[in-house]
Amino acid sequence: MSNAPEPENLARLVRDGRRYWATPGGQAVWSAERACLGPVCERLFGHHSLELGLGPRLADMCPVHHALRWSPTRELAEQPETLVCLPDVLPLPDDSLSLVVVHHLLEVAPDPHHLLQEAARVTADDGALVIFGWMPFGVGGLSRAWHWRRHQLPWRGHWRSPGRLGDWLAFVDFEIERVDYCGFRLPGRGVRNAALETLGRRHNLPLGDSYMLHARRRSRLAPPPRTRLEFARSLGPATLGGATRVSPQPKRKIEA
């Protein structure tokens, strides 16, 4: 185990991630995922959003006014609107963001449970939490059979299915609205086949390299109003049959 501070380890991870997303393969997957995210963003309106990930910004088409990015160190911050912090300790108030995007970070984050808790905490009640993950059962998942690949991005880390993340989301009071699959390709080929991508997206086949999970906070039902009991008259002697006192009944002797 490395003795380096956590921000330094995260900074190394971000650099590795940026190198991958700059490759032709990474750019092809990024374009497919951005096309998947577009319809979700078009229906969102609000003041603040946040993207947690290692690649370029995805939600640039979103009408949310103030878009924040994340970085573990100041040196890696690419724009002024960057949140410099650990991803599982966000210095933001509860329910403050209309959109939170977690882009392939749960697979490699040191503490994915706390990261998801923080992402859920800062998502507004009427906001959207969007998670991109690598599909364990897709073509890319099959290529992880070679163990030497698991030390490199994107095959590094723990790949979890949408069903597994649905269990995690239930603990933070969120539920999945929809899962979309993207990044379709043939074995041994790259994600560049437009016809295959269109076919896979149209039928939403769970065979893509990645998936987009759209979640929202569970509706909080207000407790039913208490009914005030009203009586036509007070409970006086007449109500008790004219009796002013009810005497206790004599105890019966129990014979052995």
Indicate the pTM of the whole model: 0.82
Domain range for 159: 25-217
**pLDDT band at residue 245 under the 50/70/90 scheme:** very low
Whether 226 is in a domain gets the answer no
Whether 71 is in a domain gets the answer yes
Segment 51-75, tens digit of pLDDT: 999 999 999 888 888 999 999 999 9
* Beta bridge pairs of residue 129: 100, 215
Answer left, alpha or beta for residue 95, where phi above 0 means left and psi between -120 and 50 means alpha.
Answer: left
Whether 193 is in a domain gets the answer yes
Whether 247 is in a domain gets the answer no
Whether 17 is in a domain gets the answer no
Burial of 162 (0-12, 13-18, 19+ CB in 10 A): buried
Segment 24-41, tens digit of pLDDT: 989 999 999 999 999 988
Whether 139 is in a domain gets the answer yes
d(CA 57, CA 67): 10
Domain count, the chain: 1
Residue 80, domain CATH = 3.40.50.150
d(CA 46, CA 100): 12
Whether 5 is in a domain gets the answer no
Whether 256 is in a domain gets the answer no
